[in-house]
Amino acid sequence: MALKLVLLGPPGAGKGTQAKSFAAARGIPHISTGDMLREAVAAGTPIGLRAKAVMASGQLVSDEIIVGVVRERLARPDAQAGFLLDGFPRTVPQAEALDAIVAGGDALLVVDIAAADEELIRRLTSRRVCGQCGANAPVPAPGQPVPTACGKCGGALTQRPDDREEVIWERLRVYARDTRPLIDYYRRRPTFRSVNGAQEPSAVARDLEAAVNAAAALRLAQGAAIASNGAGV
Ligand code: ADP
Ligand code: ZN
């Protein structure tokens, strides 16, 4: 069965960090719409040109653009055996579009990584990214200084334009208005799970692993029940 995983969660919950290592461990592509858009901005493509100001102000790129990007990405050969979506869907229309894209295939597993606003704000305001190798520096513990040099390559650390404090508030507002409703959209599915994102990364990784395994086992059992029902008809 293909592992089709969607990670939900507010900005700063740690989706990106978890997504990278989880996808690498499972050998499935990590599809981050935020990373794809930032690459498009850096490369100056037509989509990047349209997305740049929208992203810097904390708003969402239009559903139409992002659904097109994801539809194309999921059609590529490496996504046929499974994928991990990080940052998509972010609105109910995007979730509906995704359901249509995967219809008839293996069910989506959806895991929400939850954390309270105060923790999200603390993490986002102290998040720094390496200008040289692109790595995220580990967020300092409360009260600890924000790092200035990359621990991996020594490059200078910078702040993402959308991690400025006034933009963070806007992103959290947009999250509450447009993205949090997705929890209700998915919650009744047996393949939905929620994990506590307000823990250290290794603990979140452990809970994520357990949540995915539990959801996958349930999906397998359901598939078997449907198959045997079908055989009985
Ligand atoms: P975050 O750290 O908030 O999770 P991402 O790196 O996932 O941020 O995305 C950064 C920005 O890219 C978002 O604030 C938004 O402007 C844009 N973006 C990313 N994914 C989507 C999406 N699915 N729909 C619309 N806009 C998106
Ligand atoms: Zn670096």
Task: Identify the residue whose tokens are 């790129």.
Answer: 61
Residue 163: which of 113, 123, 191 has the closest Cα?
A: 123
Residue 172: which of 116, 127, 128 has the closest Cα?
A: 116
Digit-coded pLDDT (tens) for 94-124? 999 999 999 999 999 999 999 999 999 999 9
Of the listed 38, 123, 128, 171, which one is catalytic?
171
**Nearest Cα residue to atom 18 of ligand 1:** 34
The closest-lying atom of ligand 1 relative to the alpha carbon of residue 55 is: 16
Digit-coded pLDDT (tens) for 167-211? 999 999 999 999 999 999 999 999 999 999 999 999 999 999 999
Instruction: Give the phi and the psi of residue 31 in degrees, each rounded to 5.
Output: -105, 100
Please give the distance, rounded to the nearest whole angstrom, from the Cα atom of residue 104 to the centre of ligand 1: 28
The question of whether 123 is a catalytic residue gets the answer no
- Ligand closest to the CA atom of residue 73: 1
136: left (phi > 0), else alpha (psi -120 to 50), else beta?
beta
200: left (phi > 0), else alpha (psi -120 to 50), else beta?
beta
The question of whether 71 is a catalytic residue gets the answer no
Of the listed 50, 122, 160, 180, which one is catalytic?
160
pTM: 0.90
Task: Identify the residue whose tokens are 């139409």.
Answer: 64
Digit-coded pLDDT (tens) for 42-57? 999 999 999 999 999 9
Residues with CB under 5 A from ligand 2 (ion): 130, 132-133, 135, 150, 152-153, 155
The question of whether 193 is a catalytic residue gets the answer no
The question of whether 90 is a catalytic residue gets the answer yes
The closest-lying atom of ligand 1 relative to the alpha carbon of residue 162 is: 14
Please give the distance, rounded to the nearest whole angstrom, from the Cα atom of residue 64 to the centre of ligand 1: 14
Q: Which residues contact 123 (CB under 8 A, 6 or more apart)?
A: 12, 14, 139
Q: How confident is the model at residue 219 (pLDDT cuts 50, 70, 90)?
A: confident
